[in-house]
Chains A and B, each alone.
Chain A
């Protein structure tokens, strides 16, 4: 495959272009997506290319937006919804949890809402407590939803295209700090399968499972650790639910140590879920307790310096791994 470097944002934009061109049933709904670039820029150029019928601006009502998309999906369309912030989940949670996720089951499998809800999460822009959260834990708790969180341009494009083509509702979580990240993406068309984790770096001493933007910190930490003689394996689940348990378990059976890194709050967080699941699978291979590196159980401050103190960063991963592999104890 011939590669070029493009940003995560460009990769998503390409995926939308390609899937809309490929399938006339695909259309987009969201707030402020039709004018110019859209709030975040992911939908740039789409209205110009595909027209206002397929790139639709909606009122500021996430409940109506998700509900309308579900209705369209039930009639055979393949809508893509842009939920501007994951923090807005609270507004549309009844549609998400009780309608979108349940309709297949409630209809005895007759209704298959092929619906993608794109959103973005996380810190990085100083947007304070109501626009900086990482709420994937809310979503993975709901049976009936596929939850995806890509960490590279390659994964973002490949996974979004697969999500659009999948007949199940998919929650597609992007991250504020990843949009500008550049990486190799093939010129040719490709897909990344749902439910398959990716080993971002091989290592023998400790397995670091990280999600979304934290994968970048995990990779940076692994580089530092390698200089200290500790080879960390970094795994991105990519699909948060269903989790690719076997790829992670296979890794931990080799390394005997597992750290789970997630930007969500520690208590009841996604890191806890991965830790508990792996504990059930690899207990007898562990040489140290499974450790979580997660955000403090606190609101995200508006001040960027304080924001840094609440969510995990490279140093937090380093400290945890050093404790686990060293003889100083954990």
Chain B
């Protein structure tokens, strides 16, 4: 008698497994219940024990990926292996080494009859269990009632688990992989935290409306992003410590303020950079951002246009978000998040009024500086955005 050792089906979705290790040498004897081999699927590593006493005969090699229920090897009954060639009984499988492959021995192949007891078959049929998916624990690896009961229990447990079928698999490659890596790196390596201020946006809204009214004269519809980019750049020239990177243990504070503008596209986030935002007029900044937005949608941005940023602005107001915690765009040390401008209760003096307000969320790296400086920077931006004279000076 030879007993097949097959790749077990450990789950409904399992189609194949890897034979990782043989734990008994080819040709060595093994006792029933001893660990025989180890298999691995994408979910688990499992050790298979010998179902009977005998001598191990390899079929599959270590590292081989073997389909479910395919034979990994055999356990040969010791007596038969030891038999003299002339004394072999007709059903003996003790073929001389390197002659007929074992898989060709009648009844040994995967097409062979599944040994099982009548009650095992009956219960399996009642519960729709395929006996071919089970490994028998009875004599000669016969499937007995206990094996089927265990499978029924396992199937019942599976049914209780929530269904989670794959809609589609998206390889984490290309731009997605770059974004993923940079975001994880940012959160892992930067001491970032977010501070938030709610500001009265009355003057900002008025100014912006006035600028939009002059769109044909200015040649561009000035966006809030442009106004905030200009204010951020100006504030950073006055207090440059967060216009910085950490490079090889050195905090490098940059002279230019190059503002990255986060733009959502169907293929992921892109951050084109407006260079020298601190020294350029608002209209120019607005034009650059408008141009970026158009070309980002058509995937026409050039790689060079997305490098060299020193700080970033990200606007999620369009999605109805009030405030949030942006993630630093490495190697930068600050990112300014714009929320939704909306009418909200707002106290002016001692009076509760309704005003359009805006939340500015500033994420910054505590390695570079401390809360006072970050708070002052955000305060300065708030001050500029609320100042009619500053705003009217922009265009």
Contacts and interface: CB of A to CB of B under 8 A. Distances in A.
A327 B139 CA distance: 7
Interface residues of B, number: 12
Nearest to A323: B139
Contact of A327 (B117, B120, B137): B137
A127 interface: no
B311 interface: no
How extensive is the interface on chain A, given as a class?
A: 10 to 19
Contacts of A283: 118
A329 B121 CA distance: 18
B135 to A, nearest CB: 13
A287 B137 contact: no
B144 A287 contact: yes
B365 interface: no
A286 B121 CA distance: 10
A287 B119 contact: yes
A185 B190 CA distance: 91
B138 interface: yes
A285 B118 contact: yes
A284 B118 contact: yes
B4 interface: no
Contact of B145 (A256, A327, A329, A330): A256
B127 interface: no
Interface string A286-318: 111000000000000000000000000000000
A285 B139 contact: no
B139 A286 contact: no
Contacts of A327: 137-138
Contacts of B122: 284-285
B139 A287 contact: no
Interface in B119-137: 119-122, 137
Contacts of A329: 138-140
A256 B120 CA distance: 10
A284 B122 CA distance: 6
B78 to A, nearest CB: 15
Interface of B: 117-122, 137-140, 144-145
18 contacts: A283-B118, A284-B118, A284-B119, A284-B121, A285-B118, A285-B119, A285-B122, A286-B119, A287-B118, A287-B119, A287-B144, A288-B117, A288-B144, A327-B138, A329-B138, A329-B139, A329-B140, A330-B139
Given A283-B118, A287-B144, A329-B138, 14 more contacts: A256-B119, A284-B118, A284-B121, A285-B118, A285-B119, A285-B122, A286-B117, A287-B117, A287-B120, A288-B117, A288-B144, A327-B137, A327-B138, A329-B139
